[in-house]
Structure 1
Amino acid sequence: MADGRAVGARVAGGRAGAGRPGIGATVGRAAHAAVAALGELVGGLGTALLALLLLIWTAVTAVTSLLGVGLLMVPAVLRALHALAARERHRLGRRGPEVIGPDPAPTRLRPALVDPTTRRELRWLARHASLGLLLGLGGALLPVLAVRDVAFPLYWRLLPENATSTSLGIGVAQTWPDALAAGLLGLGWTAIILGLTPGMARLQARPGRTLLAAGPDTDLSLRVAELTATRAAALDAHATELRRIERSLHDGTQNRIVTVTVLLGAARRMVARDPAGAEELLERAQSAAEQALSELRSVARGILPPVLADRGLAGALTGLAASCPVPCRIDVQAPERCAASVEATAYFVVAEALTNIAKHSGARQATVTVRSRGGRLRLDITDDGRGGAGDTSRAARSGGEAGGSGLTGIRDRIAAHDGTLELASPPGGPTTLKVELPCGL
């Protein structure tokens, strides 16, 4: 719990000072953006290597099809193309706005020749296997070159004679000025990383976002059906929330206020003949009124916690960690604010998850990690408990999680914002709940 307070205070303090950006804050933002861009470039390198192999296979199939032999490989090549395109859509969706794909493309030669989706995927394949591969290699090599040259003054004396000392192939330095010059070259690589890698990542992702997205002539009936289901989930979640508020007011606050009314009426009738008894009834009425006020505040906090407006998401989650029976560490890096409804959903998801951890997991500690990037808010909630909370890949499709653990309500809240939920909870643990929400700005 102490970790939660410390980390949350640090994040909240950083946000409070965001209005006075300095050189350190600017460099920090640039470094954060560069690290994220390097991650995107390296991730794109993986699909680019697969694209290169698939492009070679496609070329071999096209050439051998003239002899009739390659026609047997066409269905396999088309299936591989569609699978790789789907993988790239998923990768781009995790790094930024979702890339909505079209309906399943054909895997037979004749329909594929006239299918616009297949032609767009082939154009993406050629671009990603060439430009995307080069940009991915740059993203993988630039940090290595920077570290090698920056650290060169520390190890240049250990190099054998005539060895290559720097990334540009300059021979081994013989003096300290030469070694320091190589170190300055490393600083140059670092400047390139900070300045160019975000643009390189956008350039690498552009063909996928333009060519793999559903075209204007694509049938989006599946997406419409998905949005219809999302709207139904939002309405169900709203109705459930209204029933919860009504039940809390009816069973709690209303009964307290009725008690106060009865006690005040009895005290008014007793004040003349039994002042001491009337005073006792007034004390009981005051106590009941205070309890009713406390319950009313609790209901109001359940609708939209004021702490979100006062302290932001980081401060609100720190408060949850402080009140959780299981020691909880909070790590929030969300420089950009999301819509109030999205932050409220994130708050309630974490609150429900920590409640489940405290009641059912038997965990010794929990960790909540929040990241905001590319218009998406990502939550990772992990505990070291006994696991077995259910398989989301199966439960989310069937519409119910095992054990009545509250995950159904979490899933409905997330679906209302068109978000995603993944749960990994093998027997014996650990349990990891991953949630992704659009910021809705």
Structure 2
Amino acid sequence: MHPTLATGLRQRRRDLAYLTVEGAHWFESLALLVIVLVLLPLLALSVGWLAVPRVVGLLYSSADRARTRSGRFRRTAVPLRRTDLTGPFTVKEQAGLAAAPATRRDLVWLLFHIAVAPVCAVLAPGLALGAVLYTLTPAYWWAFAPRAPVTYAFEVTSWPLAFATAGIGLVYGALAWGLIPWMAGRVSAASLALLRPGRSTQLAQRVDALSASRAAALDTHSAELRRIERDLHDGAQNRLVGVVMMLGLARRALENDPAGALPFLDRAQASATEALAGLRAVVHDIYPPVLDELGLEGAAASLTSRCAVPSALRTVGLRRAPAAVESAAYFVVAEALTNVVKHSGAHHVDVVLRTDSTLDEDVLVIEVSDDGRGGASLASRGTGLVGIARRVAAFEGTLTVDSPTGGPTTVKAELPCAY
């Protein structure tokens, strides 16, 4: 086969696959439209507003998948949308979410997709299948009984009619050769145009995200400094004071009773050893050396192996990330496991680490699931989730907590790796 023809066939197979997949997602879009239409009259009641974040989340998820499909087809980088819909929301916030530009944009795309997807699902495969069947008619029409001949636009009962049918197949083939790539290009371009926010909107979102992440980074930094100061004051500093006191007592003992100085020196040495261990622990909490030695997977394995609750670690396509991101992921796992031990009453914990690749960036995903009593919330104080959320937000990441009363609980953190 000629290389140009082979390349054209591969491209059209790709175009056909994209259109067929979009057609298959028509059912998803139609179901989502039905949900939106059912929700509209319920907005007159409070229960309708309570459902707005959930429905908007479904709309955003469906639109994001369409953006990813279209971006992958066009080999175009699609920015990752990060919208926290975990709530809780006030009525004003719910109304703002329903009227947000992103929501209106996704609803317009939804209507477009519902109108276009059936055409994609029927016309593109129909042209391709018709081209094949009609063109190959001379190869098999004679095998059918005269009482049940091959029938397309007309009954094929002779060789002239068979070749006429093959001619129609060539016309179908020509139409498919030209229309399928044109349809795929128009549908993908329109989807991206409808779903991609304007330049000003992107810049505003980026500024908001950077402002939020900067504030979270400053909060995290301040909290870390206070923790380090507290650990040094309560640990190493007290022990070093003890060392100074023991050395002073030993010095006086040497002047009067040299043999009596030995116990003080032994106690000073023990206090110095404890102070050194405390300093090492503080340094370890700033950046664990195990990350450099074993990487994130090995470091997480050491955490799960030391956890008081039986734990299992699973990695899926995990890639190396920037040191700051891996350090944050390590502490997310450590704090989540500590939270499980202190508050969940769980009997087992599953930790999953994976790297999700998009056209725009890699995202490090951490999931910690336990079979405990549940009821955890980002609004809960003293559970450690606030600290995890602050640490994740410093990297413009997202944290979601799924913890119904009675369990199970899943804490999922997503950390962008483009740093």
Name the CA distance, whole Å, in 2 between partners of 1:41 and 1:278: 87
Residue among 87, 104, 107 paired with 2:100:
104
Name the CA distance, whole Å, in 2 between partners of 1:417 and 1:98: 14
SS in 2 for 1:381: strand
Name the CA distance, whole Å, in 2 between partners of 1:244 and 1:49: 53
Q: Which runs of 5+ in 2 are unaligned?
A: 1-17, 34-55, 70-77, 84-96, 126-185
Q: Is residue 399 of structure 2 the alignment partner of residue 421 of structure 1?
A: yes
Contact 2:370-2:410 at 8 Å conserved across structures: yes
SS in 2 for 1:329: strand
Does the C-alpha gap of structure 1 residues 100 and 301 become closer, same or farther in structure 2, counting only changes over 3 Å? closer
Aligned equivalent of 1:86: 60
Contact 2:290-2:299 at 8 Å conserved across structures: yes
Name the CA distance, whole Å, in 1 between partners of 2:20 and 2:374: 32
Does the C-alpha gap of structure 1 residues 121 and 372 become closer, same or farther in structure 2, counting only changes over 3 Å? same
Name the CA distance, whole Å, in 1 between partners of 2:20 and 2:303: 36
Look up the equivalent residue of 1:311 and give its one-letter code. L
Aligned equivalent of 2:215: 232
Q: Shift of residue 254 of structure 1? A: 1.3
| Mapping of residues 6-405 of structure 1, within 5 Å | 47-51=25-29, 86-91=60-65, 97-99=79-81, 104-105=100-101, 121=109, 125=113, 129=117, 208-209=191-192, 211-218=194-201, 220-221=203-204, 223-374=206-357, 375-390=362-377, 392=378, 401-405=379-383
Q: Shift of residue 325 of structure 1? A: 0.5
Percent of aligned pairs sharing the same letter: 44
Contact 1:252-1:292 at 8 Å conserved across structures: yes
Does the C-alpha gap of structure 1 residues 368 and 260 become closer, same or farther in structure 2, counting only changes over 3 Å? same
Larger radius of gyration: 2
Q: Shift of residue 439 of structure 1? A: 1.5
Contact 2:106-2:195 at 8 Å conserved across structures: no
Look up the equivalent residue of 2:376 and give its one-letter code. A
Deviations 1:81-119 (A, max 9, x none): x99863334446999851479983499xxxx9xxxx589
Name the CA distance, whole Å, in 2 between partners of 1:280 and 1:225: 62
Name the CA distance, whole Å, in 2 between partners of 1:42 and 1:419: 34
SS in 2 for 1:352: helix
Q: Shift of residue 213 of structure 1? A: 1.6
Name the CA distance, whole Å, in 1 between partners of 2:19 and 2:225: 46
Contact 2:102-2:197 at 8 Å conserved across structures: no
Across the aligned residues of Structure 1 and Structure 2, the Cα RMSD in angstroms comes to 4.0
Does the C-alpha gap of structure 1 residues 208 and 118 become closer, same or farther in structure 2, counting only changes over 3 Å? closer
Name the CA distance, whole Å, in 2 between partners of 1:298 and 1:42: 57
Deviations 1:270-307 (A, max 9, x none): 12432332110010001000100110000001001111
Q: Shift of residue 257 of structure 1? A: 1.2
Q: Shift of residue 386 of structure 1? A: 1.2
Aligned equivalent of 2:384: 406
TM-score by length of 2: 0.60
Q: Which runs of 5+ in 1 are unaligned?
A: 1-39, 56-81, 138-202, 393-400
Aligned equivalent of 1:439: 417
Contact 1:379-1:435 at 8 Å conserved across structures: yes
Deviations 1:371-399 (A, max 9, x none): 11211111111111111112x4xxxxxxx
TM-score by length of 1: 0.57
Look up the equivalent residue of 1:282 and give its one-letter code. L
Q: How many residues align?
A: 294
Name the CA distance, whole Å, in 2 between partners of 1:83 and 1:313: 31
